[in-house]
Amino acid sequence: MCIRDRLSTKEDEVRLYRIMDLSLERKLWQRLFGLGTIKCCSADKTLGDFEIKNIKDSKNVKEMISELVEEERSRKRVSSREYISHDMDDDDDDDFLGAGIKNLSNIDEESPEEIAKKKAEEEARKKAEEEAKKKAEEEAKKKAEEEAKRKAEEEKKRKEAEEARKKAAAEKAKAEAEAKKQQAIDDARKNAEEAKKHAETSKKTIEECEKTEKDLEKQLEEFAAKKQNYDAKMAQEAEAKKKNDAELLEREEKELDANIAKLKKEISDTNESAKKESDRILKESNPDTYKNNALRPKAPGMKYTHYAPKGELSIVEGDRLAAAEKIRSLVAEKKAQGYKTAILCDTDNVSLYDDGVCENVYDAGSKKNEITVSAGLYSLLRTCDDIGAQYIYSESFEEGDMGYAIMNRLIKAAGHRIISC
């Protein structure tokens, strides 16, 4: 049997057959932890008595050691005492009777009294052990009962706590369910009230829309009636205007015909006066030539340009805008050379010469009313003489019978200077 010290590296070894007695000691705290101390009475001279402290299942360990000791003592034929010389070697049990043991004395046999005494001690020991065992079992039983009772109480408390927790959770869940239910009821009531208000508002809106629709239908009917009256009135006014326009057009045509006849008469009178004047001048200047009728001009302007201004007159023919552009170019050129210029144009074209370069721009009348051109042409040419215009540029007026007559005079006054563009 080997005994080690836990706190050091020292090891003590004792032969089992040298153990004389075993006892078990279990203090209160050891019993609580299931421990015990085995006290060994040994005949070993080196170790002596020793204790095996705080071992688990100490009772079974003690009985196991006791059985091993008895077996070893029987095997070694050792009774109550043993004598070992100082030179005895404690080697392995197989070498005990051999080389390891030098001197082993015989052991005396026990006397009957000793045997009886030992037997009584053994019985007493066994009885004590049984009592101790019984007591330990009772204590263990009591401890187990107390432990079971304690566990039962703990289980009961746990169950009560669990029940209380479940009850609290159930009450909480119930309260939450009630709160949710109440909230749902409140929400439903609120939604119902809002729906009711919305329905009332919608009804009111529909009524207002229906009223508005009726008002619009009424206004539409009134508008339709007014439109019908307006259309009838406009038709009447249009008819009246058409009649008035027809009458006005008829009057204007009559006035135009009268003016044309009057102008033709004036032209005829002018031609006749011019013929007489030219005959007079010709007769006074050269009576012999005058007698030759073949040499006399048949109409004023055919030979003598009595319409011709003092300045050089040129007629510019072509598209309205192109003619205006050409005249502006000629005026700019002559003005740059230091000459004074004048322009004769249609009423609608006066604005085409408002470029800051052209000056002395005269409205010669409108091509739409050629009488105005014929009436003012001679006086405009005289005005150009009055301002001292050195170069005069005129637009062409070739439109209608009156236009040809005007252009005939204008071409002769220009000495047949015509610029095409």
Domain(s) of CATH 3.40.50.11030: residues in the chain: 305-420
Token pair of 28 as six digits? 């209160």
CA 20, CA 312: separation in Å to the nearest integer? 177
CA 167, CA 347: separation in Å to the nearest integer? 113
Q: Does an H or E element contain 187, and which?
A: helix 112-285
Q: What is the dihedral of CA 2, 8, 9, 11, to 10 degrees?
A: -20
Residue spans of beta strands (DSSP E) within 251-408 = 312-317, 341-345, 361-363, 391-395
Predicted pLDDT at 10: 67
CA 117, CA 173: separation in Å to the nearest integer? 80
Name which of 411, 146, 187, 195 is nearest 305 in CA terms.
Answer: 411
For the entire predicted model, the pTM comes to 0.33
Which top CATH class is 305-420?
alpha beta
Predicted pLDDT at 283: 63
CA 265, CA 371: separation in Å to the nearest integer? 13
Token pair of 176 as six digits? 């939450």
| Tokens 């006791």, located at residue | 66
User: Cα 328 vs. chain centroid, distance in angstroms?
Assistant: 64
Residue type present at position 188: A
Q: Are 24 and 131 in contact (CB under 8 A)?
A: no
| Tokens 């029940």, located at residue | 163
Q: Are 328 and 353 in contact (CB under 8 A)?
A: yes
Q: What is the dihedral of CA 404, 407, 409, 413, to 10 degrees?
A: -160
Q: What angle do CA 303, 308, 309 make, to 5 degrees?
A: 160
CA 304, CA 314: separation in Å to the nearest integer? 17
Name which of 13, 35, 12 is nearest 25 in CA terms.
Answer: 35
Q: Produce one character per residue of 231-257: b if its CB has 16 or more CB atoms within 10 Å, e if not.
A: eeeeeeeeeeeeeeeeeeeeeeeeeee
In the chain, which residues have pLDDT < 70? 1-10, 79-111, 263, 267-268, 270-307, 399-401
- Provide the terminal-to-terminal Cα distance of the chain, rounded to the nearest Å: 152
Name which of 69, 62, 35 is nearest 129 in CA terms.
Answer: 62
Query: Who's near 332: CB < 8 A, 6+ residues apart?
Result: 357
Helix (H, G, I), strand (E, B) or coil at 40: strand
Q: What letter would DSSP give residue 94?
A: G
